[in-house]
Amino acid sequence: MIPRDKLEGLKQELDEIHNQISDTSVISDARRYKPLMRRFKELTEIIGAWNRFQTLEQHFEEVKAMLDHESDPEMAELARDEKLSLEAQLEKAELDLRELLIPSDPNDSKNAIIEIRAGTGGEEAALFVSDLYRMYSYYSEKKGWKLQLLDANETGLGGYKEVIFQLNGENVYGLMRFESGVHRVQRIPVTESGGRIHTSAVSVAVLPEAEDIDLEIADADLRIDVYRSSGHGGQSVNTTDSAVRITHIPSGLVVTCQDEKSQIKNKAKALKVLRARLLDLEISKQEQEIARQRKAQVSTGDRSAKIRTYNFPQSRVTDHRINLTSYNLDAFLTGAIDEFIESLRIAWRNEKVNE
């Protein structure tokens, strides 16, 4: 059922926002202007779809009236065919409109910060962190995104205890958000001489990049420590105190960065990660509140949930949220993950439409 009163109200809101974004005092204020422009674009699309639906609806009523009074059999047949065609078009237009009425997440259009950490499985889990990092690197290349490494904690065998990187591009967070959760791998580890299959786990956290207008961090809330960077095995990476540790006192969040030789660059990267984590905390609180009101089938925030299994002996990858399986694991690990991400996005939107 189309909420006609609501749509007429949105039409009025669009007119009001149009007047506001034409005001020079608003244009010069980024905190007001940016969200208003985002809403203006969103409403323009909704009202465009609403106008198209109304045009189709009017045409349908005209054809139906003509059919009721048409005595010519040939013309009546043509009218019946057109009526059937318009019914199908109206059904699709209504579905499109209902989808557009789903409140959009303003974070979807943002860049994303990805944190991959080794869980159970020791060195094998660390090696799988490296595999996932490579997989997302390939995927970002295919999407035309830019990848920036923020921090990494390497192990002796070429894996990572932790790797943090940023993806910059169009609608990055909106696509990558469904990768948050526990990724499980089943394979024979390179460290296993007996040829037994082991199960290891890796956690992935996808955070929207926080901008200055999203939140403010008071200097008094930060404790910043510097220390000497070191690589695996305790080997010194450089001889200056360039590594940075930032503690956000109110939340207790701690971020470290030692990837750069410059203390200034490490501090900037660490602050970027801290801002993203603080914004993610706010988003998680909102999602938990929503989850109390309804049971979501497609998780985007519960990092403790096992979302996917990568089974190497069977060349199988399965997403447990939507029961989607592929038997082309090699291609998947080289970045061919679009089918899974798109299916998750559709499943999530269908949930929203049916609410």
Same domain, residue pair 22 and 120: no
pLDDT band at 279 (very low <50, low <70, confident <90, very high): confident
Please state the domain count of the chain: 2
Same domain, residue pair 48 and 121: no
Mean pLDDT over the full length of the chain: 85
Same domain, residue pair 220 and 342: yes
Same domain, residue pair 20 and 144: no
Q: Answer whether 40's CB lies under 8 Å from 106's CB.
A: no
Domain ranges, residue 289? 112-354
Q: Tell me the C-alpha to C-alpha distance, in Å, between residue 54 and each of 37, 61, 89, 94.
A: 25, 11, 12, 10
Same domain, residue pair 186 and 301: yes
Q: Specify the residue for token string 């970002």.
A: 140
Write down the pTM of the prediction.
0.65
The radius of gyration of the chain's CA atoms, rounded to the nearest angstrom, is 26
Same domain, residue pair 54 and 174: no
Distance of alpha carbon 85 from alpha carbon 27, whole angstroms = 45
- Which residues, 6 or more positions from 286, have their beta carbon under 8 angstroms from its beta carbon? none
Residue 348 pLDDT exceeds 80:
yes
Same domain, residue pair 184 and 265: yes
- Judged by DSSP in three states, 320 sits in coil
Burial of 132 (0-12, 13-18, 19+ CB in 10 A): buried
Residue-wise pLDDT for 190-202, tens only, equals 766 667 888 999 9
Residue-wise pLDDT for 120-164, tens only, equals 888 999 999 999 999 999 999 999 999 999 989 998 888 999 999
